[in-house]
Each structure stands twice: as C-alpha cells, then as structure tokens.
Amino acid sequence: MKSISERDQQVNWHPYTQMQTAGPPLAIVKGDGVWLTAEDGTQYLDAISSWWVNLHGHNHPYLMDAIRKQTQLLDHVIFSGFTHAPAVDLSEALLTILPSSHEKIFYSDNGSTAVEVGLKMAIQYHVNRGANKHTIIALKDGYHGDTFGAMSAGGRGIFSTPFENHLFQVEYIDVPIIGKEDESLRQLSKIIKHHDVAGFIFEPLLQGAAGMIMYSPQILSEMIHLCNENDILTIADEVSTGFGRTGKYFAADYLSHKPDIICMSKGITGGVMALGATSATAQVYNAFLSDDKSKMFLHGHSYTGNPLACVVAKASLDLLQEDDTWTAIKRISTQHHQFVSNVMNHPYVEDARALGVVLAVSVKSGSEESYFNYLRDRLYNFFIHRKILLRPLGNVIYIMPPYCITDEELNMVYTAISDLLDEL
Ligand SMILES: Cc1ncc(COP(=O)(O)O)c(C=O)c1O
C-alpha cells in the first residue's frame, strides 16, 4: 500500500515549494502540544507554530471541544443579512483586547484577505468622503500576503517579480531600524508632501517574512502621528504579530499612537481554522454609513464569519486571557533573550534578536541575506534531521513556538541551533 506521502506526490501541489527538487513531504497523522507525529511514527517539534498560527499547542482539548459543540448547532450561514452568536461573541471579545478606539470587526478568510480588506477600507474611506486621496505608503521588504492587493503593498522582490506588471503602485519608505529612524521619517513626510496619500500600511515592530526584522515602537508611533495629522489612515498588519507574539496582545499595545485599522489572522483561531478579521475605528466605519448604497463597504467572502472558526477563535482567546498563558509568554521571552546573549558573539552569528516569543538568529553566510540564500536548505535539513521543524528564512533561523512549549523543549531547539552554529 502506498504511503500518504507517496499518494500526495501524485495529486498535490504545495505552497512555496519547488516541486521538482523538494523531497517528499512529511505526512503528519497526529498533533499534540508542540509535537507532530509523522506516518512512520517519528515525532517532530513544531518550533514555528506551523507557519506562525498555533498558539496553545496542537489539538488543544478546550479548542477541539468548542468546535465539537458548535457542530451540533450550526455549520455555516451567510453573513450578509444574517448573524450568529459565535461571530458576536468573538467580536465582543476581540474589542476588549484591541485598542479602545476600535469599534467594528469585519471578517474574512485568512491573512491576505484581512489585508485586502484593510487596504480597501482605507481607499474607499477617502472615496466615500469625496477626498482625492489614493496613494498607499508601505515599508520596503514588507510582506502582507499573496493576493494582488497584499502583494502590491508588500516589498517588491522574489515573491512578486513574475506579477510585477499587474501590481498597483505603492510608495515605499525604508524600514526604521535602529539608526535609520530619521531617514525613514524624512522619507515618509516627503511622500506625504508630494502625494495624495490614502493610507500607510506596515507590519508593526516585526517584519516577519523579510527575516524577522525588528524596529522600535517610538518611531512607529511618530509615523502614525504624522499620518493622523495629514488625514492618512494607518493600517497595522498584525497577522503575524497579533495574539501575544510580541509579548502583548498586539504590537499596537506598545504604541502611543494607535493605528486606524488592524488586520488579524494566523493566531486568531489558535491555529485551528482559517479566519481573517479586520478591525476599524468608529471614524473609519462611519464614513461608510449613508443613504447611498454605493457607499457600503464593497467587499465580502462566502465563508465570512464562519461559526466553527469563530467559536474556536473565541475559545483560543479564553485561553490567551489566562494568567498561565502570559506567564508562559514571559518565560519564553526571557529564555529567548538569554539565548540571544549566549550566541551573539559566536563567529557565525551576524546578528541575534528577540521580541516576545520570537527569536531570530542571522547566520553569517558571506552572501546577501535573502530568502534564497544558499544556506537555507542546509539549515532546514539539519533541523529536520534533529526532529525539529524550523523553516529558516534564507540564512535567518527563527523560533516562534506555541506558548505551551516547555523549558526542556525550548532547550532542545536552542541546543540544536548552537550545534548547527558550531558545525558551520
Ligand atoms: C504580516 C503578514 N501579513 C499577511 C500574511 C498573509 O497571511 P495568509 O498566509 O494567511 O494569507 C502573512 C503571512 O505570513 C504575514 O506574515
């Protein structure tokens, strides 16, 4: 009998995978906490929360139970003209942890669509008010997803090159990393002076896919303030930073000036089901209220507000709000900082950094830091061989574990990284 992995190769086309050269996929049959069990029984430690989605560990009984109960009641129903308790409960719960200026939640299906919604809200907001403001500003090297709007707002590079002719124009500013803050702010004000800017989109404090690049809340707050003064909506893409990853509920919690629109997905359901959500302030929402139907927000998806996804998201928020979860987040964060100081001076470490539960180590490679850095496959294979799922971004190794990871499990990952560095 053929294995799942063999059958897969006959029928499936996998994301971000060169199907000609990639090895056979690992078929996973079971998840439990940070552990994934493959069909041959081998267990792998999921140190990247399965593409940053899982918060509380795989197959958490409380989350599985929430879905099971909901399956007795309602699978799905259209969300235009209809509603249901799971969506209302989730929105109420989200609004208690979002910045207090946020008043409404718009649901979609994933991170890219949450961003599409954010961008379209910002653009239509100005159209509805009769303002001639269309330009979008974004940070260089940002990643906002793979749909066309999200791709347009993302940094231009290897992910977007084939589609370049089909993307809308965006004005970019440098990421305000340490030492570049003034230059970045200067670029922002210059663009504001010379364009009719509708919105500024950014991954707050942490640019994930670009290689876990970190920058300070102070400079982002200043940038948001400048946008506020110029009637420009600010869109925080918290798809990866939301739900505790940076050490607070949202990266926006570190900011003295809050964004107008926040895009959420990934951790929103604890990593169990696909769901996107975009929150907006009353000021944004009110610009869509009119007797004129054409001013309604012109967007919607078939599975908007799926009840199963909403109940599991609400259950995940219940867990996230427990003291034990925050103790775990602080513990992981402290350990990460300790590991950063341990490896910082290693001859093969270019840079090491940590924010919340995210740890990143840039390995010296002698060539440009990029997703296609030649070291990537060597690093990935080294860790898989050690039964640890890490998916380096080029030469950048990072950990973003579920919060249930124990000290012992974390040490397995740190030890593997140290061994790798010693072996280079
Ligand atoms: C910051 C950010 N925005 C958007 C996305 C896109 O999310 P999705 O893959 O769910 O479409 C990602 C995915 O990695 C992301 O990191």
Instruction: Give pLDDT tens digits for 338-393.
Output: 999 999 999 999 999 999 999 999 999 877 666 677 889 999 999 999 999 999 99
Instruction: Give pLDDT tens digits for 162-178.
Output: 999 999 999 999 999 99
Tokens (6 digits) for 14: 């996998």
> What is the Cα–Cα distance from 399 to 245, expressed in whole angstroms?
11
> What is the Cα–Cα distance from 270 to 107, expressed in whole angstroms?
16
241 touches ligand 1 (CB under 6 Å): no
Q: pTM here? A: 0.98
Flag residues of the chain having pLDDT under 50. Answer: none
239 touches ligand 1 (CB under 6 Å): yes
**Per-residue model confidence (pLDDT) at position 272:** 98
**Per-residue model confidence (pLDDT) at position 369:** 63
Angle between helices 407-423 and 375-385 (to 10 degrees): 130
Cα 214 vs. chain centroid, distance in angstroms?
A: 14
Instruction: Give pLDDT tens digits for 296-325.
Output: 999 999 999 999 999 999 999 999 999 999
203 touches ligand 1 (CB under 6 Å): yes
Q: How far is the CA of 239 from the centre of ligand 1 (A)?
A: 6
> What is the Cα–Cα distance from 173 to 6, expressed in whole angstroms?
46
Q: Which atom of ligand 1 is nearest to the CA of 207?
A: 1
Q: Is 163 left (phi over 0), alpha (psi -120 to 50) or beta?
A: alpha
Active site residue: 44, 125, 143, 254, which one?
A: 143
The two beta strands, 35-38 and 43-46, are antiparallel
**Per-residue model confidence (pLDDT) at position 372:** 74
**Per-residue model confidence (pLDDT) at position 370:** 67
Tokens (6 digits) for 130: 């009769």
